[in-house]
Amino acid sequence: MKVHYNIESYKNIKNPIVTVGTFDGVHFGHQKIIQRLKKIAEKNKGESVLLTFDPHPRKVLFNDQNLKLIHSLKEKIDILENLGLDHLVVYPFTINFSKFTAQQYINELLINTLQTHTLVIGYDHHFGKDREGNIELLKKNSEVYPFKLEEIKAHEIEEIKISSTKVRKAIEKGDIHLVNEYCGHYYEFSGEVVHGNGIGKTIGTPTANIEIDKAEKIIPADGVYAVVCQANEKTVNGIMNIGFKPTLNKLEERTIEIHLFNYEKDLYGTILKTKVIQKIRNEFKFKSLEDLKKQIIVDNEKAKKILMISNV
């Protein structure tokens, strides 16, 4: 898959079969559209193209800084590449671009820039200033301009009954196992291993403290999770705690800590890529440090069993 961060690299694309969307989560609904895109591309001896936007339009249009995303752009790129997409166009969503009329959007972006052969789009797709553009306008334009329109009907979308919002809510509630059911891949994040307070070592469970971009990324609900990590190009099973460690501290900020099973190498300063497989329990305060230690042993065994069954 070729990723185009600027339109100058988008050249000599054969019969571009285009769809448009943020595709956050790349869930089964998104995947169904991509499969359809690929089939049409094969039929027309063309190439599949996804036009996506960065930053997310809601952050620009509504200054929605509270919007958290399922995937970073890099994570989304990795998943789309595995789905066999030919081209990903990452178009900058700016205030100026948001002022494009629907007709400008069609003329300048879909026709002149992307040179669309066929547009594959949902029946409820809206675009352009004040979301004035819709499927009816696209139909009228497809009768005048040299592009075909492939509409994804309401019943096709409703059959899937999955949305990025639904996936986000599952993550926020800690129903992390549902992400795999909705998307066919696990929720994941990457973050730098930074120095913590070192308490984990004193209770026999050394942990890696992870720092990620919390302004952009959804963080699962507080609790204990079974995880699989990429540590220095090695796949290692582990257990993660998200929260405030109420038994040990009264932290004002949530922390993300991961204990890797049978791994003792220094990780400080490295980037740990983590897949979150299943929640084990909520975070809560224990009566004593000894009670916490006993629970950690139980949690570790549960995590190991979960990871053995999941076979990630």
- Are 89 and 49 in contact by the 8 Å Cβ rule? The answer is yes
Which class does domain 2-162 fall in?
alpha beta
Residue-range domain boundaries for the chain:
2-162, 177-310
Domains 2-162 and 177-310 share a fold: no
Across residues 200-205, what is the average pLDDT?
64
Q: DSSP per residue over 94-133, as a string?
A: -HHHHT--HHHIIIIIIIIIT--SEEEEETT--BSGGG-B
What are 57-90's pLDDT values in tens digits?
A: 888 888 777 788 999 999 999 999 999 999 999 9
pTM over 0.85: yes
Q: How many CA atoms lie within 13 A of 37 on its CB side?
A: 28
Residues 226, 305: contact at Cβ < 8 Å? no
Residue-wise pLDDT tens digits, 113-130: 999 999 999 888 999 999
Distance (Å, whole) CA 153 – CA 170: 26
Closest CA to 183 of 206, 205, 166: 166
Q: What is the pLDDT of residue 214?
A: 67
Q: What's the distance, Cα to Cα, between the start and end of the chain in Å?
A: 25
Reference 49, options 79, 13, 76; nearest CA is 13
Nearest residue to 110 via CA among 154, 77, 141: 141
Q: In the CATH hierarchy, which top-level class contains the domain 177-310?
A: mainly beta
pLDDT higher than threshold 60 for residue 202: no
* Cα atoms in the 13 Å half-sphere on the side-chain side of 295: 17
Tokens for 265?
A: 């190498």
Phi, psi of 152 (to 5 degrees): -90, 110
Q: For position 216, what pLDDT does the model report?
A: 83
